[in-house]
Amino acid sequence: MTEYEERRPRQPIEHKTVVTRAAVVVPVLRQTQATEEGETVPRADESRLEEAVGLAAAIDLEIVSAVIVPVSKPRPATLIGAGKVEELKGVVAAEEIGLVIVDHPLTPVQQRNLEKELGAKVLDRTGLILEIFGRRARTKEGRLQVELAHLNYQKGRLVRSWTHLERQRGGAGFLGGPGETQIESDRRQLQEKIGRLERELEAVRRTRTLHRSKRKKAPHPVVALVGYTNAGKSTLFNAITGAEVLAKDLLFATLDPTLRRITLPHGTEVILSDTVGFISDLPTHLVAAFRATLEEVIEAELVLHVRDMANHDASAQAGDVNKILADLEIDTADAEHVVEVWNKVDLLDEAARAALVTASESGAKGLDVHLVSAVTGEGIDALLANIETRVAGRISDIALDIPADSLPILPWIYENASVQERTDREDGGVSLTAGMTAQARAELRRMTARYPDVRVASPAG
């Protein structure tokens, strides 16, 4: 027990709140939009903007301007057209904007040119995600992973403009993510640092693997929550465990996995793991960097894919999550291994809810689907019963007749079954009926060898 508690992240590191005035720009490249394979529905521009603003807000920026910029032809020099750059420059000056977030990957050249043109620091989507990860990482491993991803990101960029950028920042420590001190160093130093971090991370991982193999010996299967950022994983985790995991309307509130041992209604114990929120366009090297964190998911007996069904982009988000899971070699169509949790149903009107019920009954690729609200608690009991059945087998009622001298078996019964009826007989014995999983029933058969006078009337199977 303590092992899991120890692994709960400590309080998040306090960051000095430096409120920077920022603009969010979402370039929409018309001709490349609908090229995704069949399943992924292209995102609505408005939701992309909303998500980008949400991401930016995750690092305490004051967003004073947010615009969608259609890009008919990407410019190698600035991505967006000259007219738009000019327009933005005006906004930056008028609104005293210090940072422009471009919600699209930028080449180093584009980033540099835009910074020069606009007179503000420019961060692309990867850079922003790294900033957020840097601020949210709470465990040592999480921090090392972010730092390494940051250094690798830097290595591929900007060697000539480190100094330029540093001067522009005016040394205010603004956006001082991990690796910032490396800005003036040369590639060799950067490489040395990367090597050092990799070794350190390796050491932390070895310890982790050790912990994990220890845990494997304990017969507790791991159930992992995954989902798009803000889908409600932490809220569901809290609803199930009563834990106080940080649940905020903050993207990526959870970066390091949080583990908690829980006892399901019929006594089965599992470890519930709350992991990092996924997001679209998560750069591959970032997924790789978080592979260790995601190992809980890879090794989980059961994966709960939590989805925000009140979001317009629910389906595109599911596509993104499935893509990342596929990268981790998790078969998302495997109904034995994956359950879909359709969350936030409390936010839906009757018609939308009815449509979901129909969709869930027709089965998303044959997966089990649960409609729940992590906030109101609706649907959670059924979800837990499903988890328990999957982990410990079918639940059936059994009748037990326990004579007085076999009463020491009672505490075991209460721990491993849900007692529904109990009669304390005059002869000192106890009769009861209880719901038990197949696993518990098998265990009970072994127990009754020690208590031969206990009579069990169990249903077939």
Ligand X SMILES: Nc1nc2c(ncn2[C@@H]2O[C@H](COP(=O)(O)OP(=O)(O)OP(=O)(O)O)[C@@H](O)[C@H]2O)c(=O)[nH]1
Smaller CB distance to ligand X: residue 178 or 277?
Answer: 277
Q: Which of 154, 254, 322, 406 binds ligand X (CB under 6 A)?
A: 254
Least distance in angstroms from the C-beta of 136 to ligand X:
8
- The answer to whether residue 253 forms part of the interface with ligand X (CB under 6 A) is yes
Alpha helix segments (H runs only) across 312-437: 314-327, 350-362, 380-392, 410-416
Binding segment toward ligand X, per CB under 6 A, in 20-28, 122-130, 256-264, 371-379: 371-379
> Which residue from 20, 230, 332, 406 is in contact with ligand X, where contact means CB under 6 A?
230
Q: Is 344 annotated as a binding residue?
A: yes
Reduce the DSSP state of residue 59 to 3 states and report it. coil
Residue 379 interacts with ligand X (CB under 6 A): yes or no:
no
The span of 33-41, 71-79, 170-178, 222-230 binding ligand X (CB under 6 A) equals 222-230
Rounded least distance, CB 148 to ligand X, Å: 21
Among 142, 178, 221, 277, binds ligand X (CB under 6 A): 277
- Say whether 451 sits in a helix, a strand or coil: coil
Phi, psi dihedrals of residue 345, rounded to the nearest 5°? -65, -20
Q: Is 347 in the site for ligand X (CB under 6 A)?
A: yes
In the complex, least distance from residue 371 CB atom to ligand X, rounded to whole angstroms:
10
Size of the site for ligand X (CB under 6 A): 23
* Nearest CA-CA partner of 401 in 354, 458, 336: 458
Is 380:372 a contact under the CB 8 Å cutoff? yes
Rg for the chain (alpha carbons), in Å? 26
C-alpha to C-alpha distance for 63 and 225, rounded to whole angstroms: 31
Residue among 96, 98, 158 at smallest CA distance from 126 = 158
DSSP class of residue 66 equals E
Task: Give the whole-angstrom CA distance, residue 370 versus residue 378.
Answer: 10
Q: Does 324 bind ligand X (CB under 6 A)?
A: no
Of the pair 106, 306, the CB lying nearest ligand X is at 306
263 annotated to a ligand binding site: no
C-beta of 98 vs 134, nearer to ligand X: 134
C-beta of 133 vs 413, nearer to ligand X: 133
- Residue 375 binds ligand X, judged by CB under 6 A: yes
By the rule CB under 6 A, 323 interacts with ligand X:
no
Stretch in the footprint of ligand X (CB under 6 A) among 117-125, 163-171, 264-272, 367-375? 367-375
Told to check if 247 binds ligand X by CB under 6 A, we report yes
Q: Is 252 in the site for ligand X (CB under 6 A)?
A: yes
Q: Which stretch binds ligand X (CB under 6 A): 211-219, 359-367, 370-378, 420-428?
A: 370-378
The CA–CA distances, whole Å, from 16 to 19, 58, 123 equal 9, 14, 20
Buried b (16+ CB within 10 A) or exposed e, 300-331: bbbbbbbbbbbbebbebbbbbbbbbbeebebe
346 binds ligand X (CB under 6 A): yes
**Three-class SS state of 336:** coil
Stretch of 190-198, 206-214, 233-241, 405-413 contacting ligand X, by CB under 6 A = 233-241
Whole-angstrom distance, CA of residue 108 vs CA of residue 104: 12
Q: Residue 384 CB, nearest distance to ligand X (Å)?
A: 15
How does DSSP assign 98-145, residue by residue?
A: -EEEESS---HHHHHHHHHHHTSEEEEHHHHHHHHHHHH--SHHHHHH
Other beta carbons less than 10 A from residue 217's beta carbon:
7
Spatial distance between the Cα atoms of 162 and 225, rounded to a whole number of angstroms: 39
Q: Does 257 help bind ligand X (rule: CB under 6 A)?
A: no
Q: How many CA atoms lie within 13 A of 10 on its CB side?
A: 6
Structure tokens at 280: 């679209």
Pick 311 or 416: Cβ nearer ligand X: 311
Q: How far apart are CA 389 and CA 349, in angstroms?
A: 31
Q: Does 332 appear as a known binding residue?
A: no
Residue 20 found at the interface with ligand X (CB under 6 A): no
- Tokens read off for 85: 């750059």
Residue bearing tokens 């709350």: 274
Nearer residue to ligand X within complex by CB, 234 or 416? 234
50 part of the interface to ligand X, by CB under 6 A: no
CA 34 to CA 54: how far, in whole Å? 24
Identify the residue among 27, 127, 134, 227 touching ligand X (CB under 6 A). 227
We find the least distance from the C-beta atom of residue 389 to ligand X, in angstroms, to be 23
Q: 314 or 440, CB closer to ligand X?
A: 314
Residues near ligand X, by CB under 6 A: 227, 229-235, 247-249, 251-254, 277, 343-344, 346-347, 373-375
* Annotated binding-site ranges for GTP: 227-234, 252-256, 274-277, 343-346
